[in-house]
A and B are shown apart, each in its own frame.
Chain A
């Protein structure tokens, strides 16, 4: 199985900050990586797929990059609605796996 490790696990930031979340894989693969945002009591919401493609309707302040074993999700200017938990997911190999999550909270 491909293990995904996100860092940090917890992040405290302010509105307007630029934040980056990293997802490292236990083995390299192409770009079949997705990022999701989840708010309490809700299902995960797709933000980015194919490592860097923005899902339709997702604000452009979200961006993704990377390949191989290291991927990043960047939020260029945090908005109040962005405080949530973020997950990476690899879809290159079965079984499909997720990172452990990064909880983003207001400072």
Chain B
């Protein structure tokens, strides 16, 4: 059973860079048919897709965040990471990593990490 686990600081100062890592267990991060994704959830619901990356490094980002986001992948470590620069209080959210199933049988997010709360505050 594939499992994903987010890790990283829970508190980031305004204007700094938020950095999170997602470690995948129970499956390969190098196989085709999946993108490795970041999604955030604001207090009182609100889900926002941030972006995702394929094992070969191809990535897609939400245009609303594209200028500040970098997603990278380290297949040897079975990890992928999120960096979000120049953060403000509006970036305070629970950040989830997830696996995006993407092939002819369907498109969907089938495995999610529990999420990690990141608060932006001085």
Report B96 CB to chain A, min CB distance, Å. 6
Q: How far is the CA of A73 from the CA of B48 in the complex (A)?
A: 21
| Interface flags, B78-115, vs A, CB<8A=1, else 0 | 00000000000000000010100000001111101111
Which one of B48, B49, B98, B106 contacts A53 once the chains associate, using CB atoms below 8 Å? B106
Known contacts being A43-B115, A95-B63, is A100 close to B108, with CB within 8 Å?
no
Q: Is A91 an interface residue when CB atoms closer than 8 A count as contact?
A: yes
Residue count of chain B within 8 Å CB distance of chain A: 20
Assembled-state Cα–Cα distance A100/B107 (Å): 20
Interface: B47 (CB within 8 A): yes
Shortest distance between the CB of B9 and any CB in chain A (Å) = 20
Q: Which residue of A lies closest to B66 (CB)?
A: A95
Q: Is the beta-carbon distance between B45 and A91 smaller than 8 angstroms?
A: no
